[in-house]
Structure 1
Amino acid sequence: MLCPIELEHTKILGDTIEKIAAEKSKIIKAGVPVFIGFEEDAAMSVFLAEAQAQKSETHLLCDAIESLSSKTTTEGELVQYAWKDGRKEQLLLSMRGGVQAQNSALALLVLRTLGLYSDKVLPAIEKNQIPGRFQQLAVSPCLYVDGAHTTHSLQALLQSFKSLHGSSDKNTIIYGALEDKDHRHMANLVLDHFQQIIISRPGTYKKSDITGMFALFNTLAEQRSHSYQILLIEDNMEALKAAYKMTADTDAILVCGSFYLAGGVKAAFEQIRSAYESQLA
């Protein structure tokens, strides 16, 4: 299975979609069927060329599905599929976010094509959850952690968040990203959706420059008409405490930019959860 790719881990995989696709295409093995999700043309051409070279049968999601729509709700991601064979399905995924609708469709295509589908599949897909994927930890205020760390995944996450919590200038984001990201583009996306921003360190396992990130956010904010509150709080625990102080019970806190940050804030929340026992989801 090849899910949509974009520019990430560029120091290792390459600095273009074509180079990254070339690296990831090596998962295609001789004679083994390959299933490809919605891809940019640049990536798709690389994957198809490798599949042809390996004499692997290809199955494209875009060839199998007529339409796909999804809506983020408080209960989960409401997804509707219309397949080209005439089948129509509606699922309520536990994992929120439009990207989950695409991933689930690709999984269904794999299972049906390989003859592995059963009546247990749809309930299992609906219940499936992955920690750090728009994971709700608390309510009043709502607290979410998500590992979105690329431009497209961040944009999709912010749209899903907006579907639930609107464009309130009182929502708060705790954000931190690693060194090799498109910081300017991602910072502008955050500034489009939040006016209360806390920059925090995304762990210490990989390099990050949160001081530089803080400066970038302030520089970009100065070019806008809105009034922003941007804080630099390196420690994840202190960042979470500050977010709670800044955010009303009727608003929401979103943590994103790195799985390391999502994990750090989740661990901090677990340490102080007794203080917020009545707010647990």
Structure 2
Amino acid sequence: MATMHVPDDIRTTPATLGSRPALLVEPLGQPRGGTILYFHGGGFFSGSPRTALSVTANLVTRTNLRAYSVDYRLAPEHPFPAAIEDTLAAYRALLDAGEDPATIVFAGDSAGGGLTVTTCLAARDAGLPLPAAIAAFSPGLDATRTGASMTTKAGVDPFFTREGLDRTGAMYLAGQDPRQPLLSPAVCADLTGFPPMLLQTGTDELLLDDSTRLATRARDAGVDVILDVTAGVPHVFQAWAGTLTEAVDALDRAALFLTQRLPRE
């Protein structure tokens, strides 16, 4: 993670959101109104707001929004649904502090990209108003691992193997049936009423069909959805914004998507 590019024109401050630590990431100048609620990746067993800082900070500098990155509990000590409980509590804390849901957007990568969707499902089930938009980078959206890309991209994906995903996924599942909306939204979630969604993924990913199938479910539910697939790039390629031109371009598109869904100032 030390090799990833983090913009200089941000400040970071330890914070608490809900019941969990968080990292507040802000532009150096006066931010525009609104908040990115960010969920880091790491397969639900690793990672932190610091390991996701390249993507979070690049979104902050491009949108001029502040971001809270949530340090949710991790497996195997804290399996499903601990992560969702923490991210939902963080969202509820923003609402309780008086933030308008129309000025809050969810963003996340990998497992955290999955949390953007499952936290929204949990918020809807809890009767909470939904955020203005979702941006998910290489999201993990299917704990059943039944997407065709799990086979067709085997040996192509430089990041994951099926065996590795099965091993780490078992830590989070802890014996739970993966075929349920909060674990496999690409397979069995009802996305009716969801906010606009941006799903960014790469053609070389085992998890490619997590995004393609969720996009189909979203479309069928009448949701405004953009499926943004980049050729020849690895999992969460956006984190290499200082190295890959494709990462810079994808983050530009994500920032435009998010700001267009917030109230004009």
Where relative contact order (Cα < 8 A, 6+ residues apart) is larger, the structure is 2
Q: Does TM, normalized by the shorter one, top 0.5?
A: no
Q: TM-score scaled by structure 1? A: 0.30
Q: Which has the higher helix share?
A: 1
- Max Rg structure: 1
